[in-house]
């Protein structure tokens, strides 16, 4: 059993390491990232940092916190019917639930590749976009909770 847990842990660690290298630091450049020095709010910086370091509330992360741990394939986005795992890329670029928000930032998203969204030329607009996505996600969660247990019954 211990070997199984060790292999599972090593697999998860490898996935996270590979994700970080491939998505956020493909050139292995260890210079401070643009969002740290950008003229954006601390809230925005925190949300960007959480996405960059896999310390957020998306199902690709929260699924591993559950006991028993959810398999990667089971960490499906609950906001759309795509059947895709709710990853950072899905949340920002693909999820149908946030399509209307994405349309208002179409110029930024079209002009930038995933690798460049957090770089100097795009970080302010990307940050504002991420804040809006988080706010909408919070409103959806709240509406779902109220539908399950109306306020008068709490």
44 torsion bin: left (phi>0), alpha (psi -120 to 50), beta (else): alpha
Residue 145 has pLDDT above 90, yes or no: no
**Residues with Cβ < 8 Å from 24, sequence gap 6 or more?**
52, 118
For residue 69, the model assigns a pLDDT of: 87
Q: How many CA atoms lie within 13 A of 109 on its CB side?
A: 14
**pLDDT digit string (tens) for 81-97?**
999 999 988 999 899 99
In this prediction, residues 103-109 reach a mean pLDDT of: 82
For residue 53, the model assigns a pLDDT of: 81
Residue 85's beta-bridge partner residues? Answer: 76
Residue 106 has pLDDT above 80, yes or no: yes
**pLDDT digit string (tens) for 40-76?**
888 998 898 888 888 888 998 999 888 888 999 999 9
Q: For residue 145, what is the DSSP state?
A: H
Rounded CA separation 62/42 (Å):
23
Q: Are 130 and 88 in contact (CB under 8 A)?
A: no
pTM, two decimal places:
0.70
Q: Residue 58 class from Cβ within 10 Å (0-12 exposed, 13-18 middle, 19+ buried)?
A: buried
In this prediction, residues 144-153 reach a mean pLDDT of: 57
Residue 27 has pLDDT above 60, yes or no: no
Give me the residue spans of the domains in the chain: 2-153
Q: For residue 128, which of 31, 44, 49, 53 has the smallest C-alpha distance?
A: 44
């Amino acid at each position: 059993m211990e070997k199984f847990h060790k292999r599972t842990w090593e697999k998860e660690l490898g996935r996270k390491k590979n994700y970080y290298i491939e998505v956020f630091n493909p050139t292995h450049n260890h210079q401070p990232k643009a969002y740290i020095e950008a003229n954006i709010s601390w809230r925005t910086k925190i949300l960007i940092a959480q996405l960059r370091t896999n310390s957020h509330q998306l199902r690709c992360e929260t699924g591993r916190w559950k006991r028993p741990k959810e398999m990667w394939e089971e960490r499906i986005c609950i906001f759309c019917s795509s059947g895709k795992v709710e990853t950072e890329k899905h949340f920002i670029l693909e999820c149908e639930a946030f399509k209307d928000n994405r349309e208002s930032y179409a110029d930024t998203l079209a002009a930038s590749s995933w690798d460049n969204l957090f770089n100097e030329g795009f970080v302010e607009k990307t940050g504002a976009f991420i804040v809006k996505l988080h706010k909408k996600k919070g409103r959806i969660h709240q509406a779902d909770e109220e539908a399950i247990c109306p306020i008068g019954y709490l």
